[in-house]
């Protein structure tokens, strides 16, 4: 799966699951702010990633995740 496909797939489920607008999903956007995530929402993000990519994230994975680009990179790294 190439990077563009990964990003498209991530954006698709973020729009569906977190009810955000596509234009808010710029790579430099702050992940928590763009998705309006609170501490309870991270588990939904983990569920969505596992459902869409078969990858299980753990808390430590989010330590250095600030932007959407960081999140895209995280998923790409997990898949590789």
Partner 1 sequence: MNLLKEPITDQDLILKLIPQRAPIVMVDSLLYFEESKVISGLTVTEDNMFVQNGFLTEPGLIEHIAQTVALYTGYHFYINNIPAPEGYIGAIKSVTIEKLPKVNMQIETEVEILQEIMGVTLVQGTTTLNGEVIVTAQMKTVLKN
Burial degree of 68 (CB within 10 A; 0-12, 13-18, 19+): buried
Query: How many of the chain's residues bind partner 1 (CB under 8 A)?
Result: 12
Secondary structure of residue 67 in the 3-state scheme:
strand
Candidates 47, 52, 70, 75; binder of partner 1 (CB under 8 A) is: 47
The yes or no reply on residue 57 touching partner 1 (CB under 8 A) is yes
Q: One symbol per residue from 14 to 33: x for binding partner 1 (CB under 8 A), - otherwise; what is it?
A: --------------------
Contact 60, 49 (CB under 8 A): no
Among 18, 42, 70, 78, binds partner 1 (CB under 8 A): 42
Among 20, 29, 46, 55, interactor with partner 1 by CB under 8 A: 46
Nearest Cα to Cα of residue 24 among 65, 33, 13, 62 = 33
Beta strands in the chain (DSSP E): none
Interface residues with partner 1 (CB under 8 A) are 39-40, 42-44, 46-47, 50, 57-59, 62
């Amino acid at each position: 799966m190439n990077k563009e496909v990964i990003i498209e797939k991530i954006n698709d489920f973020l729009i569906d699951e977190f009810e955000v607008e596509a234009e808010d999903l710029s790579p430099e956007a702050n992940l928590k702010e763009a998705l309006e995530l609170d501490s309870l929402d991270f588990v939904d993000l983990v569920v969505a990633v596992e459902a869409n990519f078969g990858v299980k994230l753990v808390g430590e994975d989010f330590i250095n995740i600030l932007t959407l680009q960081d999140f895209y990179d995280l998923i790409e790294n997990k898949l590789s």
